[in-house]
Amino acid sequence: MAAPPLPPPDPQFVLRGAQSAVHTLHFCEGAQGQGRPLLLSGSLRGLVHIWSLQTRRVVATLDGHGGQCVTWLQTLPQGPQLLSQGRDLKLCVWDLAEGRNAVVDSVLLESVGFCRGSVLAGGLQRWLLAVPGRGSDEVQILEMPSKTSVCSLKPEAQARLGMPMCLQLWQADSSPRPLLLAGYEDGSVALWDVSSRKVCSRVSCHTEPVMGLDFDSQEARGVSGSAEKALAVWSLDEQQALQVRGTHVLTNPGIADVKIRPDRKILATAGWDHRVRVFHWRTMKPLAVLAFHSATVHCVAFADDGLLATGSGDQRISVWSLYPCT
C-alpha cells in the first residue's frame, strides 16, 4: 500500500525563443485540417508569438504593441480573430485568417494597470468586452465590434475596493443576463450584474490583491489566487451570493494566474515561487508541483484536449500532459 509517490513529472516539451519573459498564453484551434491547436504567447517585449505544437516552432510573430508588454491574448469563436491587450494602453483586434496578420481594429484603454480583459461571445456577431475603465476602480463594458460603451461598473465610493485586478465575464445557462466576476485590489471578489450595473454580492477572500481567478459556471464554484500564501475557493448560490468554501494554504506566497481545465477535473496555478501547482478541482487535493522554471511563472493555459502550457520570466514556455482527459 505504501507505494512511494511517483517522481514529479517532466514537461512534454519546452518552447524556447520568446526572447523575453512570457506574460500570457492562449491556445486556439488551428486552421481546418491541422490536428493540433496553436499556442499563442505574449511577451514582455511586446511581441505575440504563434507556436505550432506540431513542429514546436514559431509560425508567426505579431508586433503591435510598440515594445510594451502583452498582458492578455484571446481568440474569438467566430472567425480567426485575435484580441491582444498590451501595456501601451491598446487592445488590438487581429485578423489571422488565411495567414494574414494585420491589426484590423484597436480599442484605446484608459487604465495603466495589469488587469486583463475578458470577453463574452455567445456565438453571435456581437460580443461583450470587459476592460478596466477610466477611473482607477472602474470596469468598462463595451459592445464589439461597434466599440459602443455599454456601461461602466463603478463600486460605491465607500466600498474602497481598489483597482480591479482580474475580470471574468460569463453568462448563466438559465438566464441571458451577462455577469462579471471581478477580483479587486483589497482581496475581495465581486459579482456584478452587468445589465443592472449592481454588485450582486461580494466576498473578501484574500488579504492581498487578487491576482487571478477562474470560475466553473456549471458547478457555480470558483477559485482565486492572490499575492498571499493561499488559494481561496468560493461558490455562488441560487441567490447569487458568493461564499468562501475554503482556503488552501501554499508553501510560498504569490499566485500570478489560476486556470481550471475545460473538463473541470484539475486546476493549475502559476506561482511567483517558480512553481506550477496542480490541484484536483473538486477536492482541492494537491496533485503535483512542477518545479521546472527558474523564474516567476506568469501564466498558465489549458487546451481543450487537456494540454497545459506555462509561461515564465525565464523566457521559456513548458508544455505538460498531466492526467489526460478521458
Binding site for another protein (CB under 8 A): 4-9, 251-252, 265-266, 273-275, 277, 280, 282-283, 285-289, 291, 323, 326
Name the minimum Å distance from CB 265 to another protein. Answer: 5
CA–CA dist 21, 72 (Å, integer):
14
Q: Cβ of residue 170: shortest distance to another protein, in angstroms? A: 23
Identify the sign of the CA torsion 161, 164, 166, 171. positive
Under 8 Å between Cβ of 307 and 256: no
Beta carbon of residue 219, minimum distance to another protein (angstroms, whole number): 11
Query: Are 102 and 95 within 8 A, CB to CB?
Result: yes
Q: How far is the CB of 246 from another protein (least distance, A)?
A: 13
Minimum CB distance to another protein smaller for 86 or for 254: 254
Q: Which residues contact 191 (CB under 8 A, 6 or more apart)?
A: 179, 180, 181, 199, 200, 201, 202, 236, 240, 242
Question: Which C-beta is closer to another protein: that of 116 or that of 259?
Answer: 259
Question: Which CB sits closer to another protein, 44 or 278?
Answer: 278
CB of 252 to another protein, least distance (A): 5
Q: Which residue, 46 or 313, has its beta carbon nearer to another protein?
A: 313
Read off the DSSP letter of residue 187.
S
3 secondary structure, DSSP code: P
126 or 280: whose CB is closer to another protein? 280
Phi/psi at 99 (nearest 5 deg)?
80, 0
Of the two residues 36 and 245, which places its CB atom closer to another protein in the complex?
A: 245
Nearer to another protein, 140 or 310 (CB): 310
Q: Is 170 exposed, middle or buried (0-12, 13-18, 19+ CB in 10 A)?
A: middle
Separation of alpha carbons 80 and 100, rounded Å = 10
Q: 182 in helix, strand or coil? A: strand
With contact defined as beta carbons under 8 Å apart, do 234 and 222 qualify? Answer: yes
Least distance between another protein and beta carbon 314 (Å): 13
Q: Considering beta carbons, is residue 202 or 277 the nearer one to another protein?
A: 277
Least distance between another protein and beta carbon 130 (Å): 32
Q: Whose grid coordinates read 508541483?
A: 289
Tell me which residue has cell 467566430: 78
Shortest gap between Cβ of 293 and another protein (angstroms)? 12
Residue 326 has, within 13 A of its CA and on its CB side, a CA count of 3
> Which run of H or of E encompasses 225?
strand 221-226
**By C-alpha distance, which of 79, 185, 58, 70 is closest to 124?**
79
